[in-house]
Amino acid sequence: MNEGPTYQAVRWNEPIIFELSRKGRRGHSVPGVEPEIKAAVGDIESRIPERMRRKSPPMLPELSEPTVIRHFIRLSQQTYGVDSGIHIHGTCTMKYSPRVNETLARSPKITDLHPLQDSDNVQGVLAIMYQLQNWLCELSGMAEFSLQPRGGAHAVFSNARIIREYHRMKGELDQRNEIITTVLSHPCNGGAAAMSGFKVVTLYPDEETGCPDIDAVKKAVTKHTAGLLMTDPYDTGVFDSNIEAYIKLVHEAGGLVAVDQANANSILGRLRIGDIGADLCHFNLHKSFSTPHASTGPGSAAIGAKPELTKFLPVPIVAYDGEKYTLDYNRPHTIGKIGEFYGVIPNIVRAYAWIMSMGAEGLLESSEVAVINNNYLIKKLLGVRGVSLPWQKAHPLRLQEGRFSLEKMKQETGIGVDDVNRRIIDYGLQDMETSHEPWIIPEPFTPEPPETTSKEDLDRFAQVLHAISHEAYTNPQIIKTAPHNAAISKIDRTPSSDPKKWAMTWRSYVKKMGRNS
């Protein structure tokens, strides 16, 4: 059971790419210029006015193609993806991305399309976008979707902007300057509301239930309320079933409700947020719909609106007249453009292909398996010394994930979640999501095993936490000094807060510390 770690990460001790540079090397040749062109245009640089002419070329590294490829292959080997091993980083739905969808997203029939080509020549990609919009409507109960947001925070921002436009049109924007959110909602809900110019009222969960008390919501809702932006289910894996009551309260006060469905993986096909009265919602294609997380993006999100609000959706939206697909910009009340062109097209193709292959039955099964996986893991982890699951009494069963606490272990051994997270890689596992700030659960960790996690992986994960817990209670030093088997040892984090030491570029590092420090 307490088999020690046998894993060893690749340790290339790879230099920074500038250290590999050798004068005169180059990894790529540029297409030639015909002599007739040279003759016709003459000395091209002389056309640039003197003060706009670059005096010396940018100091990029000088490398051959084999050196470049080796360097980046080594860096990839020192990166831990879903395909590398047990990677159940919570709040992120790290499900497997089927490879056939890569082939499709990388087809030249996608990559070689220019966004301004005439719609006659892009009917294939527009058909995919249109169908995906419709499928997301079916999954949410909303009337129309826009695929414009580039990520979850962008989607929530768009929803906040729609709430603003709605009240502006009604002439109530001056009065309605507050957005309510909950602290267990993703930070972008408060962040996007503030960015859109709203004051933010944040509700905290009740000690017993893990959800805000309805009376607290009643008090928060006033004539100033523009809307409620909240995540449901929460990152605790709790579904806030008061949501119907919140929606009713906010609607009665004249506000709108936008539900952040980044955690929709557990409810696909089981709960349609539009059916219970939400006005707006969003999905993350890189979470629930299997597009790869791409080392933190590009992701992609989509926002849905109920009939009265579709006119505000960000443009363009793909329209279909029965014969031809077009990009529809003719929407006078739209909140406008939120990103250039039309969305993260490769992810739209991947998500389309994924939903197509899963079908209605597959989606329902995937959410069921994900929830079984999670509750099985919860059961296993609750047997680990020092681990607890806050709000267990009210919510012994959770949806897509659970948020645990190592408070007891920290009190008893001095080992907290940051220490455990440094140790877990020694056993060959990706580290764990702790929690977004603020940590209302002390020493939190949040594993989320999606449907593509095997029982063997869940058993192994629990076994590793058992082993680390045992170490915490018997040999905490080995955790304090971890990692031991990772690509590097413990990091000096002083540059994080020290302007004299931080260096976000190599040129800055060389200026501050010298080349050989």
- Which of positions 399-438 make contact with other proteins (CB under 8 A)? 399, 421-422, 425, 430-431, 433, 436-437
Contact range with other proteins by CB under 8 A, out of 137-145, 251-259, 409-417, 468-476: 137-145
Cβ distance 425 to 486 under 8 Å?
Answer: yes
- Residue whose CB is less far from other proteins, 167 or 410: 167
HEC secondary structure over 283-352: EECCCCCCCCCCCCCCCCEEEEECHHHHHHCCCCEEEECCCCEEEECCCCCCCCCCCCCCCCHHHHHHHH
Binding status of residue 215 toward other proteins by CB under 8 A: no
Contact with other proteins (CB under 8 A): which of 5, 151, 227, 449?
151
DSSP single-letter state for residue 171: T
- Which of positions 296-335 make contact with other proteins (CB under 8 A)? 296-299, 314, 335
Residue 249: which of 273, 289, 215 has the closest Cα? 215
Contact with other proteins (CB under 8 A): which of 206, 216, 368, 476?
368
Contact range with other proteins by CB under 8 A, out of 304-312, 352-360, 444-452, 468-476: 352-360
Binding status of residue 259 toward other proteins by CB under 8 A: no
Instruction: Give the C-alpha separation, 320 to 482, whole Å.
Output: 57
Binding status of residue 450 toward other proteins by CB under 8 A: no
- Which of positions 264-283 make contact with other proteins (CB under 8 A)? 267, 269-272, 275-276
Binding status of residue 227 toward other proteins by CB under 8 A: no
Binding status of residue 476 toward other proteins by CB under 8 A: no
Instruction: Give the C-alpha separation, 97 to 104, whole Å.
Output: 12
Cβ distance 308 to 144 under 8 Å?
Answer: no
Instruction: Give the C-alpha separation, 259 to 284, whole Å.
Output: 12
Let me know the angle formed at the C-alpha of 304 by 298 and 308, rounded to the nearest 5 degrees: 150
- Which of positions 331-350 make contact with other proteins (CB under 8 A)? 335-349
Contact with other proteins (CB under 8 A): which of 110, 216, 319, 440?
110
> Shortest gap between Cβ of 473 and other proteins (angstroms)?
23
Checking DSSP bridges between strand 444-445 and strand 144-146, what pairing results, if any?
Answer: unpaired
Q: Give the other-Cβ count within 10 Å of 433's Cβ.
A: 21
Query: Would you call the peptide bond into 438 cis, given omega within 30 degrees of 0 as the criterion?
Result: yes
Residue 227: which of 260, 205, 204 has the closest Cα? 260
> Shortest gap between Cβ of 3 and other proteins (angstroms)?
20
Contact range with other proteins by CB under 8 A, out of 218-226, 249-257, 294-302, 471-479: 294-302
DSSP H helical ranges for 145-298 = 152-169, 187-195, 214-220, 243-252
- Which of positions 28-67 make contact with other proteins (CB under 8 A)? 28-34, 36-38, 40-41, 44-45, 47-49, 51-55, 57-63, 65
- Residue whose CB is less far from other proteins, 253 or 349: 349
- Residue whose CB is less far from other proteins, 398 or 410: 398
Total residues at interface with other proteins (CB under 8 A): 207
Residues β-bridged to residue 258: 229, 280
Binding status of residue 97 toward other proteins by CB under 8 A: yes
Residue environment code for 311-349, b if the CB has 16+ CB neighbours within 10 A, otherwise e = bbbbbbbbbeeeeebbbeeebeebbeebeeebbbbbbbb
Binding status of residue 79 toward other proteins by CB under 8 A: yes
Residue 391, phi-psi category: left (phi > 0), alpha (psi -120 to 50), beta (remainder): left
> Shortest gap between Cβ of 16 and other proteins (angstroms)?
6
> Shortest gap between Cβ of 253 and other proteins (angstroms)?
20
> Shortest gap between Cβ of 404 and other proteins (angstroms)?
16
> Shortest gap between Cβ of 34 and other proteins (angstroms)?
4
Binding status of residue 123 toward other proteins by CB under 8 A: yes
Residue 391: which of 234, 263, 264 has the closest Cα? 234
Checking DSSP bridges between strand 325-328 and strand 317-320, what pairing results, if any?
Answer: antiparallel
Binding status of residue 226 toward other proteins by CB under 8 A: no
Directed axis angle between helix 455-474 and helix 345-381, to 10°? 50
- Which of positions 166-185 make contact with other proteins (CB under 8 A)? 181
Instruction: Give the C-alpha separation, 403 to 236, whole Å.
Output: 5
Phi/psi of residue 325, nearest 5 degrees: -95, 140
Contact with other proteins (CB under 8 A): which of 252, 321, 497, 514?
497
Contact with other proteins (CB under 8 A): which of 14, 172, 206, 213?
14
Cβ distance 104 to 298 under 8 Å?
Answer: no
- Residue whose CB is less far from other proteins, 124 or 307: 124
Binding status of residue 442 toward other proteins by CB under 8 A: no
Cβ distance 314 to 335 under 8 Å?
Answer: yes
> Shortest gap between Cβ of 132 and other proteins (angstroms)?
11
- Residue whose CB is less far from other proteins, 189 or 411: 189
Contact with other proteins (CB under 8 A): which of 361, 456, 477, 514?
361
Contact range with other proteins by CB under 8 A, out of 215-223, 368-376, 440-448, 472-480: 368-376
